[in-house]
Structure 1
Amino acid sequence: MTAAIVAPYITAWTEEQELPYALIEHSRGIGYADETIGDRDSHGVLWARTPLRLRHGRPEFGRIHPQRQRRAMSRLLCQVCAGPAGRNEDGVLWILRDYRDDWPSWPNRMGVTEPPICAPCARLSAKLCPALRRGAVVVRVGSCPVVGVRGMLYRSGGGRPVPVGPTTVAFDDPAVSWVRATNLIRELGDCVIIPFEDLP
């Protein structure tokens, strides 16, 4: 199956450009002027509007499709093939850039926007992804709760929201109602780094 993959499932394509939108502000944050029930998630967070046109045009490897990232992350699907992520009694499989020098227990307590992966796609990604070729590790993650979102933060502008900049916000932070989300975040815990050769 992985041999036919041209681009990872979460990659955006050229025919999936962001749709036009008008933001408004209200007492509890931001919203779309023509908001529908599908514009927010179960936490009440507003999400970017992007059409679903997978495999139309060319893949844009530096850009992630918000809805597909959210689906893969919430359902623990492989970010490459969209099948179930690798899982065993030690946890769910992730492939990460190697930042073990950042702190002693890395990647425990790290928030990630990259969804998990299956074993065949982990091997393929380590070979083909330029970022991962610089150094990657495979991790079994015992706990990975959904904790927040990444997106554009806005502030009140007297009726018209003013963009502040990209940010990461936890669901329990009041600022989350001023974010237009593009990525779901999970926090990794009970992590065990495993050798590539131990992948099933």
Structure 2
Amino acid sequence: MPFIAPWTGENVPSPAAMATRLGRAGYGIGYADEYGIADRVRGALWVRVPVKPGAGGPLLGRIHALRQRQAMTHMLCQGCGQPTVGGRADQRHLFLTASATGRPVAEGEKTVSPPSCAGCALEAVQEGLPSGRRYVAVLVEHAVVWGVAGIVYSPHTLAPVLRDVGNEFTLVAYDDPRLPWTLACREVVALHGCTAVDLRDLSERTPA
């Protein structure tokens, strides 16, 4: 069971009531019963999700918002939840992302996929992905916090703004003026110092 996957007992409850709030960055969305630091990180309002790991059955292929953010913040493996810091002699992190084309990860590319340890990456590659998608792997020197992926709300109607077809969420940088109007669902990092990894060479120990 992947660390960032939710369980059936963690089904998201009915959306909390939204309101317009005046914050440090000006007006934006907020919960009518906002808890402060429990609901906001770096000024972004986060979706509320139950935390009951192990309750019910696993929902493979989905992502638990809080554990995804924890994995990004602390560089935890998205599979086993263990720290990836210090896992390699060169201190780089292994990122495994799904791709429709197999194109290598570009310098500065943004991702919502947390890092992986070598063992979990190998297991994921062996299990494969649904038809038409494949994994690409990259060793990264620095994963820099960039922003969030979430739902942007209209300042005028408090209704969600339509997203591009095929995109579940909108990417919003932490310095984007839309951030106060965004309900964050994923942490986004920018990948720097990228070296592509050939999946054929991926073994129990990632290449140094």
Give how far 1:109 is off. Answer: 1.6
- Residue 176 of structure 2: aligned partner: 173
Number of positions where the alignment pairs a residue of Structure 1 with one of Structure 2: 189
Q: Is the 8 A contact 1:90 1:140 kept in 2?
A: no
Structure 2 distance, partners of 1:133, 1:96, is: 14
- Report sequence identity in percent: 35
Q: Normalized against structure 1, the TM-score is what?
A: 0.86
Alignment pair present for 1:199 and 2:174: no
Are residue 125 (structure 1) and residue 129 (structure 2) matched? Answer: no
Stretches of structure 1 lacking an aligned partner (at least 5 in a row): 1-6
- In the TM superposition, what whole-angstrom CA distance separates every residue of 1:1-43 from its partner, at most 9, and x where no partner exists? xxxxxx20101111111233101013420000000020011x1
Q: What is the aligned partner in structure 2 of residue 58 from structure 1?
A: 57
Secondary structure of the residue aligned to 1:139 is strand
Choose the corresponding residue for 1:16, options 10, 25, 41: 10
Residue of structure 1 equivalent to 2:166 = none
Q: Structure 2: which 5+ residue stretches go unaligned?
A: 163-168
Cα displacement (A) at 1:170? 0.2
Q: In structure 1, how many angstroms separate the alpha carbons of the residues matched to 2:151 and 2:133?
A: 29
Aligned to 1:97: 98
Q: Which residue of 2 aligns with 1:3?
A: none
Aligned CA RMSD, in angstroms, stands at: 2.2
Match in the other structure for 2:165: none
**Length-normalised TM-score, structure 2:** 0.82
Tell me which residue corresponds to 1:4. none
What is the identity, as a one-letter code, of the residue corresponding to 1:8? Answer: P
Q: Counterpart of 2:61 in 1: which secondary structure?
A: strand
Instruction: Flag the 1:175–1:87 CA change in 2: closer, same or farther, 3 A.
Output: farther
Asked if the contact 2:140–2:191 (Cα under 8 Å) also holds between the matched residues in 1, the reply is: yes
TM superposition shift of 1:122: 0.7
